[in-house]
Structure 1
């Protein structure tokens, strides 16, 4: 292995994992796909193959669902007390933390993200989320209900685990999104079939190994890798009680259709075209680097990316200069290089999508302030890009690019209603940010924006206790916080005539 390649930067433990034969986790056993097929996994920094992974199909999904059903109905998982269940989820957080360096390397190699971000964000957040959700296991309660009908009654509600859940994970934060899904489901007492994105399966497989190490019984968590085929089979499976999906709005709509067969519960965390609104009184020393982080973090491959930047004309030129300076400071390179701030996009498909949007923007009259083209001669690198002179009908303004591309939009209005109307002029409603020193304006604007999360003087901030999800076509339901527990439980009313 060449020390100058991305793989050459890996630790011995990460190298050993990469070299293994990567199978499916079903009922506590690592098995080949029934078809015997495998698929290749690539390093997005150079397009070279790094691993072969089992290519699961509908038959493998069926076996995994049956294993999850047995574990839920008949296995030891259903008999484990809440306090013990919580301890196991907490223990998994500790194990994740103990393996953080190795997991960060695998995530960076597989996804392309800067390893400094994987170490500073993805792994600590994942460990903390497991601990937070583990704490909820003993606090999932019902309530006494007062009955108004004649007679003597005893009535109460209960919260019970929804059952077998299918969880389909995106490629932009592969490990963290897997943890976002499994942590509340395990805390609530559900069993899981996890389907990672085919572009980034490696950390989900390693997570499956750590789940086994943590002592979870066979069948509680099953991992089936593959393309869209196993994902579609999971969404449609008649013995799955709930499906949770994070990904594009287009695929989310297909999930809803597939889930209609048995009317399984559905939660969706989908796309975004988040506005970041800079008022003329904003502290630009905060707003400029904040807006840069809002769009360039994770190469813009964030559903909450601040991809529409509304800037008041009184500070527009200063913000553009500052934002260009911020972009120029970002070192572009392989994710495993500790100095890298902008890694490659995840795949050739995503690279072509983003560069296609750049071409469309130019054709429709957008002006490139900085960036706007491929970086280097190999891999899937795109320069951090700022577009101006955009109009609402342009594709780059209307559609989610999912790359390091921001549309900067000048405005000269001081009417909050009209500013909010422009911010809300999208089919999405996942997040928004407001940059101002006037706290009254900030909170008034927060009420007017149709978004699941509104940040004030910050962008892309999350915490394990904050509910996360979107309005409109950005999805259904909320993840994190206690709201995530609600996603994985059913409410039962019990009424007795005394």
Structure 2
């Protein structure tokens, strides 16, 4: 039985959730053509807000506002953009508690876990890219004699970037996309998921308070028709999307009509390779808890645990013990580690995956696997052992608190199991043998590889993050993340 303090949730919602609206060119719209969406608190199952939705008309207005603002923002001295973005980052840092307070109400993120750090991550990403704003450089070529010709390049912004934001970690998605876009000189139209608009609204409010000109950041919460209107709009120069492969295919097809470039950060089914030379007292709690963080609703979480045979049985027992003691409950309770899923459909889908895995014999259910008695959308953390790597349990992104454990005997087998998936977002290696680590990292099919426990590296603004295969293409983070929003113009000047 999960007990949720409904009265406290209602009170907090009244206190901390920004007023639902669209933000277009500095104007706030509540009367919109897309109708209203009832926002349901995932922990209580109760409606806590009505969200005005953008239709194609509002998207057109937002793009027009962004194009107008681009003349100002794109033409601004880079040092001035840096100053404004630095001020923006300072304001975000001052409002870290507000982002933390929004998250449990917006999508059920636990205030004592993921939520408490999200504001810090936004501030760090904005600070990092503020520092890049006046360091974007071209280069001078030397292919010909300077007496004949001078050749150089200009690094220029695209113009207007359309950002379609994921629901599972909307604030972090904003941090990974918007600051590099702005540092490069672009303006943006943000389409948050209809279920998670509040972080984007606070983000836009703080940008305006920082002095970033109206129209540089526009927020148009909407459904699929709004997303399609944004992708196909002739005034949008590039699309950045975080979400699932099915939606990405539709976006790519729409963008192909005008050959519009896209950046996709999609799903994952990340393998975590655990070798017998590790310190199990340290590594096992990390592996078990990290896979369950954000209730398993994370694209890069290590949800496949591959364990070397000599320690396999011990690891299964230890993992089960760790997961059994992870507190499940009200996301407003600081002691809670696992909260609700985003909505009833997600809960039903995760239950279906678990039931099918049991029926098909895809693995041995060693813990959890049931719906919890609650008004919100709770499923118990679940562990399967002896998982068939060809099963849906091992191949399909579940996006719930489900961990699949599989044994291996050799390094080659571990690599083959890890790479035997259409996804390629992240991979993890747990080993104290540096020679082994150096052998494995180049062989793992993943956009990022993380070695041994430590702070969550996915949220480091200096580290490029992105996938291969079904996990998408393009990078967020580091210089590579900045270059996603720049195109290079070549210039040749002849001698007269």
TM-score (norm 2): 0.95
Among residues 420, 427, 441, which one is paired with 2:436 in the alignment?
441
Deviation digits for residues 224-255 of structure 1 (CA, Å, limit 9, x no counterpart): 01222211211121211000000011111111
Cα distance in structure 1, aligned partners of 2:306 and 2:478: 30
Preserved CA contact (<8 Å) 1:6 1:336: no
Partner of 2:471: 474
Cα distance in structure 2, aligned partners of 1:203 and 1:374: 29
**SS of match in other structure, 2:268:** coil
Cα distance in structure 2, aligned partners of 1:149 and 1:397: 59
Partner of 2:352: 356
Partner of 1:239: 235
Deviates more, 1:285-294 or 1:446-455: 285-294
Q: Superposition pairs for residues 3-82 of structure 1, below 5 Å? A: 5-6=5-6, 8=8, 15-18=14-17, 21-35=19-33, 37-73=35-71, 76-82=72-78
| CA 1:62–1:7: 2 relative to 1, 3 Å | farther
**SS of match in other structure, 1:422:** helix
Cα distance in structure 2, aligned partners of 1:7 and 1:471: 45
Q: Superposition pairs for residues 341-490 of structure 1, below 5 Å? A: 341-365=337-361, 366-412=363-409, 414=410, 416-458=411-453, 460-462=456-458, 463-490=460-487
Cα distance in structure 2, aligned partners of 1:7 and 1:151: 78
| CA 1:436–1:406: 2 relative to 1, 3 Å | same
Preserved CA contact (<8 Å) 1:199 1:347: no
**SS of match in other structure, 1:429:** coil
Query: Gaps (5+ residues) in structure 1?
Result: none
Deviation digits for residues 111-168 of structure 1 (CA, Å, limit 9, x no counterpart): 1011122454211111111000000001100111112489611111110111100000
Cα distance in structure 2, aligned partners of 1:7 and 1:240: 43
Give 1:51 deviation, angstroms.
Answer: 0.7
Preserved CA contact (<8 Å) 2:4 2:330: no
1:170 to 2:169 alignment: no
Among residues 133, 157, 164, which one is paired with 1:161 in the alignment?
157
Give 1:389 deviation, angstroms.
Answer: 2.6
Among residues 87, 93, 104, which one is paired with 1:97 in the alignment?
93
Cα distance in structure 1, aligned partners of 2:74 and 2:90: 23
**SS of match in other structure, 2:113:** helix
Preserved CA contact (<8 Å) 2:10 2:48: no
Deviation digits for residues 66-101 of structure 1 (CA, Å, limit 9, x no counterpart): 11111113xx32332111111211211111121111
Deviation digits for residues 378-407 of structure 1 (CA, Å, limit 9, x no counterpart): 211111111123213311111100111011
Deviates more, 1:49-58 or 1:35-44: 35-44
Among residues 275, 282, 300, which one is paired with 1:279 in the alignment?
275
Partner of 2:193: 197
Preserved CA contact (<8 Å) 2:365 2:383: yes
**Length, aligned pairs only:** 490
**SS of match in other structure, 1:454:** strand
Deviation digits for residues 29-78 of structure 1 (CA, Å, limit 9, x no counterpart): 101343272111111012101111111111111110111111113xx323
RMSD of the TM alignment (CA)? 1.8
Partner of 2:316: 320
Preserved CA contact (<8 Å) 1:166 1:244: yes
Cα distance in structure 2, aligned partners of 1:375 and 1:11: 25
Cα distance in structure 1, aligned partners of 2:380 and 2:418: 26
Deviates more, 1:239-248 or 1:111-120: 111-120
Preserved CA contact (<8 Å) 1:278 1:310: yes
Cα distance in structure 2, aligned partners of 1:177 and 1:481: 15
Deviates more, 1:353-362 or 1:226-235: 226-235
**SS of match in other structure, 1:245:** strand
**SS of match in other structure, 1:451:** coil
Cα distance in structure 2, aligned partners of 1:273 and 1:100: 31
| CA 1:17–1:345: 2 relative to 1, 3 Å | same
Cα distance in structure 1, aligned partners of 2:10 and 2:492: 59
| CA 1:10–1:467: 2 relative to 1, 3 Å | farther
User: Which 4+ runs in 1 deviate beyond 3 A?
Assistant: 3-7, 9-12, 148-151
Query: Gaps (5+ residues) in structure 2?
Result: none
**SS of match in other structure, 1:66:** helix
